[in-house]
């Protein structure tokens, strides 16, 4: 059953049971563990464990509460530095103060990797050439047997029976007579590598209409290369010619961030270099030229189209973009063709049927697995990696960041909302939050590399932590990061995207009170009409949205507020559209991202009959664009004569004698200066000129 058939079948089941769609009355899993197509015990090989042993359950509950509040802050070494790994976290202080485990208490409760006693790799279903335990081998993971014994086999079994994910904190009782309680934190998972091998070198068509063989380059992970070199007297590395990649990125900040991670894998794990035309290109034109490379090649060995399916005809654009690469491959050139991102997830094996020259189709959940996948491609396999999987932090690569001053940090992947127009839940899977400790570590690494601003990313950022055990919140995370990132390093924390249904007063309080969190709210409203919002399954109304805005204006009066709107949603009447304009007039946004509704595959609203004609959608789009421009100008003019702190990001591309940066409210500001003098610096600028989408000013010494 393909995705569309599966979707329609689920929908029919839901309708047949005359279910009225309510907030939680849905047919899909909300725990990432339950979203797996195979059993947890065939996917999770092991987990990285820390534990604290206490005598009673009451003490265990108290300790977990203390941990959630930030631990016991009375150790000199609980200070977290920007140098090297985290030397401590709240769990460390718990272990030192409370744990009865003499083997681990001084190491922050660290047990290490423990293997899943139930693990069943389903070897008979696998290609014999594939090592299912490659990740173990390449990571050289060793369990400390002495420490391992502290939790006992019984404890390990109990732990895996609960099917934990990374970031969970669980309590289990171990022993019979003198049973004690273990508070277990799962720092990471070791996952089986489980793509579908659609064809292999033997079964894949070896010739084509031109009479040549389809070739793929010889790609090798660094670990395997060094193993080969140790085993061989010849210097394999020296004999290899340089290999190159090209990534073409389309879509949102999520896709941009994914491309940075893909690039990290290609450079750090496979030792590839960017071609001179590697670029982010919204039009998916394969002939664009912008370069981050010092190399001379413009011919990639690996090309990756990181696709987005949010727009109409996205699939068609991908198929036509693949054309030139497929042709090169048919002519006998050695090239690995990869389709990643949302269109890849959506189309799956269909992509291979329509363009058999494609080697790898991979969904967004497989970004960190690119190295393994490409190595199998180079062995002649054609692969589809789109099944739901859990996320793991064990990624040897680091993203190759596209900017020197600001960086994206993914805090939650996927979305559980299923708004009726949106492809994201089908393409990025269910929500999976990363642990606060891993996020802090990534931020501290960025701080030590000189970054000044981070943007926390999530499709629905307010859902952060609700998939964890125990649950955490986005406000918890903001407080944790603000407190633990040292002053003078990362100066600004931003985040996108909020959801009005889940947005909490605690987030407004965090923005109003935390020094690093910027006074800037991005709050998509999509429509001002309650009936349309209900059909979109957004879970809020005109009035409840306005209550949030009022709270923001009360608590953070200088904050900017931006939004997203969709016009021409099925059934949108003139009256409904007018209520959208009413909402915009009531809020007077600093900026609004404006979209016309476009039916997307595997979404409910695409199947409805009351679609709005294109010319009406276009008229409404022009109206909201004009109105949002008027409001933006009105808001910009209020800044005239005021002084703002600006973080300088770049040159003004239209005037090289100027630099540009942003205020904390995310307004773009230009002023005279050399980028060499100001890049990454915070400066005060007095605003002298206001336009809808940017300001100009003069530097205040």
Min separation Cβ 607 and ligand SF4, Å: 16
Three-state SS annotation for 552-600: HHHHCCCCEEEEEEEECCCCCCHHHHHHHHHHHHHHCCCEEEEEECCCC
Closer to ligand SF4 by Cβ: residue 277 or 416: 416
* Tokens (6 digits) for 497: 């995207």
424 lies in the site for ligand SF4, by CB under 6 A: yes
Q: How far is the CB of 560 from ligand SF4 (least distance, A)?
A: 21
314 alpha carbon, distance to own chain's centre:
21
Nearest to 476 by CA among 461, 487, 488, 489: 461
Between 181 and 542, name the residue whose CB sits nearer to ligand SF4: 542
Least distance between ligand SF4 and beta carbon 424 (Å): 4
Token pair of 39, please? 């059993």
Q: Which is nearer to ligand SF4, 373 or 463 (CB)?
A: 463
DSSP element (H, E) containing 261: helix 253-264
CA 469 remoteness from chain centre: 20
For residue 56, the tally of other CB atoms under 10 A from its CB is: 11
Binding characters for ligand SF4, 433-472, by CB under 6 A (x = yes): --------------------------xx------------
Q: Parallel, antiparallel, or unpaired for β 591-596 and 655-662? A: unpaired
Instruction: State yes or no: residue 419 binds ligand SF4 (CB under 6 A).
Output: yes
254 binds ligand SF4 (CB under 6 A): no
Extract the tokens encoding 224.
Answer: 């395997």
**By the rule CB under 6 A, 422 interacts with ligand SF4:** yes
Q: In terms of CB distance, is 400 or 566 closer to ligand SF4?
A: 566
The full DSSP string for 369-413 is GHHHHHHHHHTT-EEEE-S-----S--S-----S-SSEEEEE-EE
Residue 491 beta carbon to ligand SF4: minimum distance, rounded to whole angstroms: 29
**Distances from the Cα of 366 to the Cα of 163, 189, 193, 384, angstroms:** 21, 15, 10, 10
DSSP states of 133-181 as a string? THHHHHHT----HHHHTTTHHHHHHHHHHT---TT-EEEEEE-STT-EE
CB of 459 to ligand SF4, least distance (A): 4
Residue count, binding to ligand SF4 (CB under 6 A): 10
CA distance 390 to 397: 18
State the minimum distance, in angstroms, from the CB of residue 428 to ligand SF4: 8
Whichever of 277 and 460 has its CB closer to ligand SF4, that residue is 460
Taking CB under 6 A as the rule, does residue 533 contact ligand SF4? no
Quick note: the x/- pattern for ligand SF4 over 671-690, rule CB under 6 A, is --------------------
Nearest residue (CB) to ligand SF4, 89 versus 417 = 417
Pair of tokens at residue 135: 């990740």
Q: How far apart are CA 338 and CA 344, in angstroms?
A: 9
By CB atoms closer than 10 A (0-12, 13-18, 19+), residue 26 is middle
Q: Which is nearer to ligand SF4, 381 or 538 (CB)?
A: 538
Write out the binding residues for ligand SF4, residues 387-416 only, by CB under 6 A.
Answer: 415
In the complex, least distance from residue 583 CB atom to ligand SF4, rounded to whole angstroms: 17
499 binds ligand SF4 (CB under 6 A): yes
Tokens representing 255 are 């896709």
> Using the rule CB under 6 A, is 417 a contact of ligand SF4?
yes
Please tell me whether residue 520 adopts helix, strand or coil conformation: strand
215 binds ligand SF4 (CB under 6 A): no
Measured from the CB atom, is 401 or 418 closer to ligand SF4?
A: 418
Q: Does 420 bind ligand SF4 (CB under 6 A)?
A: no
* Alpha carbon of residue 507 to chain centroid: 20
Piece of 4-12, 79-87, 280-288, 420-428 that binds ligand SF4 (CB under 6 A): 420-428
- For the CB of residue 417, give the shortest distance to ligand SF4 in the complex, in Å: 4
Residue 586 burial (CB count, 10 A): 13
164 binds ligand SF4 (CB under 6 A): no
Indicate the residue among 527 and 652 with the shorter CB distance to ligand SF4: 527
Among 187-195, 418-426, 548-556, 627-635, the segment contacting ligand SF4 (CB under 6 A): 418-426
In the complex with ligand SF4, the residue whose CB is nearer, 113 or 540, is 540
Please state the three-class secondary structure of 8-37 as a single string. Answer: HHHHHHHHHCCCCCCCCCCCCCCCHHHHCC
| CB 536, min distance to ligand SF4, A | 8
Q: Smallest distance, Å, CB 540 to ligand SF4?
A: 11
Q: Please state whether beta strands 655-662 and 643-652 pair in parallel, antiparallel, or not at all (unpaired).
A: antiparallel
* Nearest CB to ligand SF4, comparing residues 425 and 465: 425
Binding piece for ligand SF4, criterion CB under 6 A, among 247-255, 289-297, 421-429, 601-609: 421-429
Q: How far apart are CB 298 and ligand SF4 at their closest, in Å? A: 36
- The yes or no reply on residue 418 touching ligand SF4 (CB under 6 A) is yes
* 185 part of the interface to ligand SF4, by CB under 6 A: no
Radius of gyration of the chain measured on its C-alpha atoms: 26
Q: Is 273 helix (H, G, I), strand (E, B) or coil?
A: strand
State the nearest-atom distance from the C-beta of 571 to ligand SF4, in Å.
18
Q: Could you tell me the smallest distance in angstroms from the CB atom of residue 418 to ligand SF4? A: 6
Angle between helices 574-587 and 542-555 (to 10 degrees): 10
Q: Strands 360-362 and 382-385, how do they pair?
A: parallel
User: Taking the complex as a whole, how short is the minimal distance between the CB of residue 497 and ligand SF4, in angstroms?
Assistant: 7
Binding footprint of ligand SF4 on the chain (CB under 6 A): 415, 417-419, 422, 424-425, 459-460, 499
């Amino acid at each position: 059953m393909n995705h569309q058939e599966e979707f329609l079948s689920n929908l029919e089941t839901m309708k047949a049971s005359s279910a009225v769609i309510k907030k939680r009355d849905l047919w899909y899993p909300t725990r990432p563990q339950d979203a797996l197509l195979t059993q947890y015990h065939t996917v999770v090989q092991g987990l990285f464990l820390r534990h604290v042993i206490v005598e009673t359950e009451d003490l265990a509950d108290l300790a977990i509460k203390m941990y959630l509040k930030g631990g016991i802050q009375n150790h000199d070494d609980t200070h977290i530095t920007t140098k090297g790994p985290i030397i401590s976290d709240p769990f460390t202080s718990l272990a030192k103060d409370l744990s009865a485990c003499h083997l681990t208490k001084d190491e922050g409760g660290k047990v290490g990797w423990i293997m899943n006693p139930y693990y069943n790799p389903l070897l008979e279903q696998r290609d014999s050439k594939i090592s299912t335990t490659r990740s173990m081998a390449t990571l050289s993971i060793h369990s400390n047997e002495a420490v391992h014994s502290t939790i006992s086999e019984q404890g390990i079994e109990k732990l895996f029976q609960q099917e934990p994910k990374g970031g969970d904190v669980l309590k289990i009782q171990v022993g019979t007579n003198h049973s004690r309680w273990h508070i277990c934190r799962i720092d990471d998972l070791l996952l089986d590598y489980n793509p579908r091998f659609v064809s292999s070198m033997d079964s894949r068509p070896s010739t084509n209409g031109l009479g040549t063989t389809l070739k793929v380059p010889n790609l090798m992970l660094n670990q395997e290369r060094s193993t080969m070199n140790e085993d061989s007297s010849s210097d394999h590395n020296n004999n290899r010619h340089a290999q190159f990649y090209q990534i073409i990125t389309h879509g949102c900040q999520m896709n941009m961030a994914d491309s940075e991670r893909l690039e990290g894998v290609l450079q750090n794990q496979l030792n590839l270099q960017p071609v001179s035309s590697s670029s982010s290109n919204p039009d998916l034109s394969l002939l664009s030229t912008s370069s981050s490379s010092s190399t001379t090649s413009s011919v990639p060995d690996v090309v990756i189209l990181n696709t987005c399916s949010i727009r109409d005809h996205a699939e068609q654009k991908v198929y036509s973009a693949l054309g030139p690469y497929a042709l090169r491959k048919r002519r006998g050139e050695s090239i690995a063709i990869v389709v990643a991102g949302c269109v890849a997830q959506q189309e799956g094996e269909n992509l291979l049927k329509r363009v058999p020259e494609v080697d790898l189709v991979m969904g967004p959940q497989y970004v960190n697995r690119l190295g393994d996948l490409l190595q199998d491609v180079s062995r002649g396999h054609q692969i589809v990696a789109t099944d739901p999987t859990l996320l793991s932090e064990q990624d040897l690569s680091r993203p190759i960041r596209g900017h020197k001053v600001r960086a994206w940090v993914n805090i939650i992947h996927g979305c559980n909302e299923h708004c009726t127009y949106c492809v994201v839940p089908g393409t990025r899977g269910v929500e999976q939050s990363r642990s606060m400790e891993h996020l802090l570590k990534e931020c501290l690494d960025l701080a030590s590399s000189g970054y000044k601003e981070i943007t926390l990313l999530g499709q629905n950022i307010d859902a952060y932590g609700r998939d964890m055990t125990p649950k955490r919140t986005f406000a918890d995370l903001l407080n944790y990061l603000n407190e633990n990132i040292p002053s003078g390093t990362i100066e600004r924390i931003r985040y996108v995207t909020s959801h009005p249904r889940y947005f909490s007063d605690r987030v407004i309080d965090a923005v109003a009170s935390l020094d690093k969190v910027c006074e800037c709210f991005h709050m998509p409203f999509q429509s001002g009409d309650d009936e349309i919002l209900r059909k979109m399954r957004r879970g809020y109304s005109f009035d409840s949205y306005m209550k949030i805005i009022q709270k923001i204006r009360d608590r953070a009066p200088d904050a900017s507020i931006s939004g997203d709107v969709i016009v021409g949603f099925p059934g949108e009447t003139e009256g409904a559209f007018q209520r959208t304009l009413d909402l915009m007039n009531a809020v007077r946004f600093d900026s609004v991202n404006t979209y016309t509704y476009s039916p997307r595959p595997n979404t409910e609203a695409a199947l409805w009959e009351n679609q709005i004609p294109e010319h009406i959608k276009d008229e409404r789009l022009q109206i909201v664009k004009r109105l949002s421009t008027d409001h933006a100008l009105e808001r910009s003019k209020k800044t005239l004569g005021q002084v703002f702190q600006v973080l300088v990001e770049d040159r003004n591309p239209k005037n090289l004698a100027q630099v540009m940066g942003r205020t904390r409210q995310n307004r773009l500001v230009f002023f005279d200066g050399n980028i060499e003098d100001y890049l990454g610096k915070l400066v005060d600028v007095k605003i002298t000129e206001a336009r809808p989408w940017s300001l100009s000013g003069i530097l205040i010494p």
